Amino acid sequence: MKRLQSLVWPALVALTVLLPAGAGAKEGKQGYLAPDAVEIFKILPPAPREGEARYQADREIFKATRRFAGTARWTLATSDVKLSTADMLGAYSCAVGVTLTPETAPHLVHVIETAGADTSGAAGVAKDHFKRLRPFLIDEGQVCQSAADLSHSYDYPSGHTTRGWTWAELLAELAPDRAGAILARGRAFGESRIICGAHNTSAVEAGRLTAASVLAAVHGSPAFQADLKAAKEELDALRANAQTPQPQGCAEEARLVAEPVF
C-alpha cells in the first residue's frame, strides 16, 4: 500500500499539471479533420468507476495477466511499446507480408500518420476528460516499461491501442487480402498493453473504438481519399515486386498473436 501511495500522489499532481486536453496527438501534426470534429467522449462509454462490474473486471484481469512477465509474449508486449513510424511499419510487416520502411512506403506513411493525428488527438481529449488512473496505480504488479513515466498520463482510452488500431484498419483497407492477419496483429498490439500492465482492458477496448469512430469520419475527407489511393498504388507495387525484402520471424510472431490473453 505504501508503494502504491508513493506512486499515486505524485502521479495525481503531475497529471493535473502536465496533461492538456488533446495530449497524445503528435505535436504539430495536422490531421484530415478539425480538432473538434468528433466528440469522442460522447461516443465512448464512461470509464469504469469503483464499485462497477467493469472496474472489478479490469482489476482481476490486470492481476491475472502478471503471469506473462518473462515470457515471449511479454517480450512482444515490450517491443510494442515503441511507437515511432519505423517501429509501427516493423510491427505490421509480417501481417502485410512484405518488409515496410519509411523509405519504401512514404505515401502509406503519410496517409496513416495524418489520419493518426486525428485518432490520437481524440484519444488525448478523452483521456483528459475521463482522468482514469492506470492499473498499477490501483493494484501492485510488474509493468513492462517505466511505471514512473506511465504515471504522468491517464489510462482511458489507451493511446497505444488507438494508434495500433488506426494502423491496422488502414493497412487492412490497403491490403484487403491480408486483412485477417493485419487485424489480428492490431488486436494483439492492443492486448500488449494489457500484458504490459500499462492499461486496463476497458482502456484497450476504448482505444479501438476511438480509432474506429474517428476513422469513420476521416473517410469523408477528399484529401484522405486521394492520399489513400496513392498509398494503395504504392503498396500494391511493393507487394508485386519480387525484390521487396520479406520480413523475418513471422511464424513466431503469428504464434504469439494467436496466444490467448484471458
Enclosing domain of residue 210: 47-258
CATH classification of the domain holding 153: 1.20.144.10
Cross-strand bridge partners of residue 25: 23
Amino acid residing at 221: S
Q: Residue 5 domain-assigned?
A: no
pLDDT of residue 250: 98
pLDDT tens track for 105-142: 999 999 999 999 999 999 999 999 999 999 999 999 99
CB-CB contact of 97 with 238 (8 Å): no
Q: Residue 52 domain-assigned?
A: yes
Residue burial 21-52, b: 16+ Cβ < 10 Å; e: rest: ebbbbbeeeebbbeeebbebbeebeebbeeee
pLDDT of residue 25: 42
pLDDT of residue 174: 99
Q: Residue 208 domain-assigned?
A: yes
Q: Residue 51 domain-assigned?
A: yes
Q: Residue 36 domain-assigned?
A: no
As for how many domains the chain has, the answer is: 1
pLDDT of residue 29: 83
Q: Residue 250 domain-assigned?
A: yes
Query: Dihedral angle at the C-alpha atoms of 25, 27, 32, 33, nearest 10 degrees?
Result: 60
Q: pTM for the whole thing?
A: 0.89
pLDDT of residue 222: 99
What stretches in the chain show pLDDT beneath 70?
1-28
